[in-house]
Structure 1
Amino acid sequence: MTSHSRVRSMVGVACLASASWCLPFGDMAHADQSLVARSTIPVKQAAENEDIGFRRGSFIAAPIPFSNPLIETGLALGLGYLFQADPDSGTSVLGVGGLKSSNGSEAFGLTVNLSLDADRWNFGGTFADADLNYDLIFNSLKIPISQTGTLGRVYVTRQVAPNLSLGLMGRYLSTELSSGASSFGATPPNYSLLGGVETLSYGVSAEFDTRDSDIYPRSGRRLYVTALGNEPSTDLIGTYDVYTAVANSYHALGEDSVLAFQAVGCATSETAPFYDLCSIGGTDSMRGFNPTKFLDGRLASLQVEYRRQMSKRFGLVAFAGAGAVGASFGDLDDYGIAGGVGLRIGVSKTLPVNFAIDVSHNHLNETLLYLSVGERF
């Protein structure tokens, strides 16, 4: 079994630092490439174990420090059990994890991912319970929000042709919001969500992937498309759909350098709950902005990153991105531009898994620090 197949099916056992495990900002669009999917650092334990079957697995633990503009700094901790179901499938994972941040946010979750039949089938699910504190930016106002929520998510994918997989997904979210700010009550119903809301979601996905690696690609392309229907429990919002498309391209520049690109498109109803609106920094994972700052019914963004391996353990990156949101693709008039540099520190002797320290500066003269595990895209 190759390192590529092991990494491909690996699902994390700690809440990711951006909290999209607990808030839906981009969680369906980036479920398999999120930081959660890279928080099981000691993957070499599974890679070195050639025994097959559930009873032949191994336990791992992964403490992950994080920092981001949504829930500030903190620590995520995960415990997982990794095993290989059959000789030609990737690593299956059963995991539990939690996080606590400096602003009082807490989350706890369970996750499972099963890779079967030589990776032709993948089944997964996540359950998370969260109590989050963050700032909602609305019309230039910074509104402190406390959000509690329970999130359940399931998916199944089937490889139907070389490099092509199709999938089904479902999500259940129950959430309530509160704020001590008087301005919160004046926000639209899809922001204040009076009385809380429960939402059932169901959708489809398609992925075409020719990358040479899931965790540190040096060549290849990936296109991932999702369509998600949502049925809230309140008539204040009504049903809505969310469509996303993520395209990546990777180009090796010699032995030690890679140029990576990501383009993202998103479309949904302007009356969708704010956490399901298209978001710069959420839907597209762009560094440089609080993911509640630029929210609307449409999004288009482009990012580029230069990655340079300086030694066996250390690397440097430089990145830049631009995105815009609006009511329609012909009216993308609210934009964000950001760029920065970062340090990469290798944390595995067998796979190119990095601890990432990034500093991003945006066109609003704001500078933000990000600590995470794995590459952004």
Structure 2
Amino acid sequence: MNPRIYTLPLVETKEAESLGAQNKKNGFLASPFVFFKPDTDLLFGGLGVYYFRLKTNENFKQETRLSFVQTIFEYSLKDQMDIQLGANIFLPNESYIAKGFFRFKVFPDVFYGVGNNTPDENAEHYNHNIFIANTSLARKLAPGVFLGLEYRYANTYNIDFDEPTSEVLDNVTGINGGVNSGLGLIFTIDKRDNVVNATKGYFLEFSKYVYAPKLGSSFSFSNVNLTFNKYFDLGKKQILATNTVANLNSGDPSFLFMAQAGGERILRSYPMNRFRDKNFVGTQVEYRRHLFWRFGMVGFAGLGDVFDTTDQLSWQRVKYSYGLGLRVMLNRQERLNFRLDYGIGRDSRSVYVTVTEAF
């Protein structure tokens, strides 16, 4: 388990004034934090979320679903830095969805090799710089149905392994850095009642990306993703949510952009860098219940794994995760939650602190 100590005082502001006659209500959430890990020493930073709803004009009563812009800043006493900016914006009438994600990172990481059975002794510690810029625009075809394009760019450089060993790093694509540049098609059916904390409906998204030298990429590969979420209202403020994910690659992707098992969204308990391979499939279920006032709890469990070919999947190695979580509703109208999760997996435990649900 990665030991972390967080302090998270949360500040919320609301603005009554409209921004260019575009939104009736909006708000801002801010949270400073601090924690300690051996590879970062003391690390501190902050998280901010600005949320809003758009409408066509003052005479147009129908508002879009919730849009948000989120930023995260981290800095350690070892001069390590991670800056992230993400946005999910429903344009007026939800005729388009615009999304963006930008990240600059100067941070340590660990590579254990490729595969779903790599031993802890394989750990290769390294530092690297990476700049990521992903942008997409999708057009509404029908209510809740969207088709769009996304461009993904990532430049990885200054990769420096502490004590490189040939047994782990031989024949691994991307250990010297390079550019990932790809163009993709996204098809989405979004029938959720709330994009940050759904209680009913479903979400289906299929995407395919092509990375090629003609697009400025150092690597040639294709990537296919499938996500399906379903939400069941059980009554008495109880929700059952399911999530199924597939991330499939063909060609020769950089090791940094292979499919990964773990993180704060699926298979909570495993660090995202622990297991990598060309493909990942996983599924999870989460029970959500309101307790009292602004407090709620969740219980979750999931299965999944990375693999190159399907014959590498086995019950003896499959990754599982289960755990409990605490929820504090920061904004009742928008159902925006503060999330604290504790996940347990196969020889792995982790704590996650963030805003918005895992899915």
Q: Normalised by the shorter chain, which TM-score bucket?
A: 0.7 to 0.9
Match of 1:136 among 111, 117, 139: 111
The 5 Å alignment of 1:214-253 reads 214-231=195-212, 238-253=219-234
Matched residue type, 2:237: D
8 Å CA contact 2:14, 2:25 repeated in 1: no
What count of residue pairs does the alignment treat as equivalent?
A: 334
CA deviation after TM superposition for structure 1 residue 231, in Å: 2.7
The 5 Å alignment of 1:163-202 reads 163-176=144-157, 177-183=159-165, 186-194=168-176, 196-202=177-183
CA deviation after TM superposition for structure 1 residue 314, in Å: 0.7
8 Å CA contact 1:132, 1:147 repeated in 2: yes
Q: Counterpart in 1 of 2:241?
A: 260
Q: Counterpart in 2 of 1:314?
A: 295
Q: Separation in 2 of the partners of 1:59 and 1:99?
A: 23
CA deviation after TM superposition for structure 1 residue 214, in Å: 1.3
Q: Counterpart in 2 of 1:277?
A: 258
Q: Separation in 2 of the partners of 1:101 and 1:325?
A: 31
Query: Does structure 1 residue 329 correspond to structure 2 residue 310?
Result: yes
Structure 1 window deviating more from structure 2 (89-98 vs 223-232): it is 89-98
Per-residue deviation, residues 21-58 of structure 1 (Å, max 9, x unmatched)? xxxxxxxxxxxxxxxxxxx984x736x55665369997
CA deviation after TM superposition for structure 1 residue 300, in Å: 1.4
Structure index of larger Rg: 2
CA RMSD of aligned residues (A): 3.6
Q: Separation in 2 of the partners of 1:182 and 1:131?
A: 19
Query: Does structure 1 residue 363 correspond to structure 2 residue 351?
Result: no
CA deviation after TM superposition for structure 1 residue 268, in Å: 0.2
Per-residue deviation, residues 95-129 of structure 1 (Å, max 9, x unmatched)? 76522358764123455665434111123434332
Q: Separation in 2 of the partners of 1:67 and 1:356?
A: 17
Query: Does structure 1 residue 75 correspond to structure 2 residue 48?
Result: no
Change in 2 beyond 3 A, CA 1:295/1:55: closer
Structure 1 window deviating more from structure 2 (347-356 vs 164-173): it is 347-356
Change in 2 beyond 3 A, CA 1:222/1:271: same
Change in 2 beyond 3 A, CA 1:285/1:373: same
Change in 2 beyond 3 A, CA 1:162/1:294: same
CA deviation after TM superposition for structure 1 residue 350, in Å: 2.6
Q: Separation in 1 of the partners of 2:296 and 2:28?
A: 25
Q: Counterpart in 1 of 2:30?
A: 62
Alignment identity in percent? 21
Matched residue type, 2:128: Q
Specify every segment of 5 or more residues in structure 2 that has no aligned partner in the other structure, as ranges: 1-9
Change in 2 beyond 3 A, CA 1:80/1:359: closer
Matched residue type, 1:281: G
Matched residue type, 1:368: S
Q: Separation in 1 of the partners of 2:253 and 2:36?
A: 24
Q: Which SS does the other structure have where 2:14 is aligned?
A: helix
CA deviation after TM superposition for structure 1 residue 309, in Å: 0.6
Normalised to the residue count of structure 2, the TM-score between the two structures is: 0.80
Specify every segment of 5 or more residues in structure 1 that has no aligned partner in the other structure, as ranges: 1-39
Normalised to the residue count of structure 1, the TM-score between the two structures is: 0.76
Match of 1:158 among 120, 129, 139: 139
Match of 1:293 among 274, 281, 287: 274
Change in 2 beyond 3 A, CA 1:188/1:324: same
Matched residue type, 1:181: E
Matched residue type, 1:339: Y
Q: Separation in 1 of the partners of 2:246 and 2:344?
A: 23
Higher RCO (C-alpha under 8 Å, 6+ residues apart): 1
Q: Counterpart in 2 of 1:145?
A: 126
Q: Separation in 2 of the partners of 1:102 and 1:368?
A: 23
Q: Counterpart in 1 of 2:334?
A: 351
Change in 2 beyond 3 A, CA 1:93/1:259: closer
